[in-house]
Structure 1
């Protein structure tokens, strides 16, 4: 740190050699030369020599890679000299650039970035204009095209039933026969409850079809109720089944008896 009696307004000139750095301060005077040895890894000795209307500062440096930085104080009464080792960045930087191929690629500059920004904005505006044009065109076409009745999708079809359809459904139900319950009695016969219109009919079906009963109000609503009705009519069902079997046996025996009688008649006529 060098101090002055008045604020320093002069100029600093630098001259460097491999072993020394010479600084010349213009408009600066000193009474007598001064020399000071410095125990630093950057400089060995510092000398201040007066010249004509100037002062020379000679710094003996440790090697040729030392450089200095000079800065004045805010009031101008002081001058700070800093001696620093110069970084060997040139060779290292060259090696790094050769090892890193990406560093050789050209980088985008400020004007190119701004141009790209404007290009993107222009493309977006053009796209918006095209979309608005297409939307307007489709809307105009829909207005000019006559409205046609379109069938609604099945998911949104109306579930309202007109009185005519309801009456038709009732008639279809009235004219159709459905089986409410059914139970097998044996291999040849079964009891079935049929729904026809507002009536339910209990029928013995098999080798012969017999109407057992008719229901209007108190219809069985479950299989258990149906089987309880059959249980209550067990004797009646047995009677119908036995009658049916006997009638079938008679139908079988009648042709056999007639054949026997005819054979006997033929024998009697031959004997005469």
Structure 2
């Protein structure tokens, strides 16, 4: 019974994904000459980058001090909030030098997380290759900044308090990009899957709930999760950089 129910759910999910594939993206990865690539993820990534550029340029194109526009105020509030977190964890000098990364990371992740909530679209962060690629990039950046600021003292944390803990410290370091990438991927992908399931059950929800209440409630929750996951990824990035570049007392 459970197996039959699982197969039925999988068949329904496959059918819904097929119906939502309005743009005709290939279901299987495509070889573009440098390995198999999920073409839909690639296209959606570039679309989201374009939207981020359009949003930030529009919000800051005619910046005013006396009568700032609503979009300018929104961007400034987000920037100041993230800068406050960075200064608190990194100090003013390091925070100012890294704000371009922190702000860009948060805005891109936020747009990526929310883009898949639009029918026929897909969140780039719903693909594990995207989230792992970003988390590995953050991991490499953390190591580079640690060496830049602390020089050879950066390696002391691998053998403190005892050299016998070295294997555990290495495992802990390597687990950071995995947990960072899989956390956001799992939440965003699960949200898209459940929205697809609800779309497949629209006649049932319309009959039971008198409308699309279930879909609307889950959509609202997914928007909240998109904000939270973008914030967590950005906050953990700041925390990892702080751990690598600041002397611990």
TM-score, normalised by the number of residues in structure 1: 0.15
The structure with the largest strand share of the pair is: 1
Higher relative contact order (CA 8 A, sep 6+): 2
Which has the larger Rg? Answer: 1
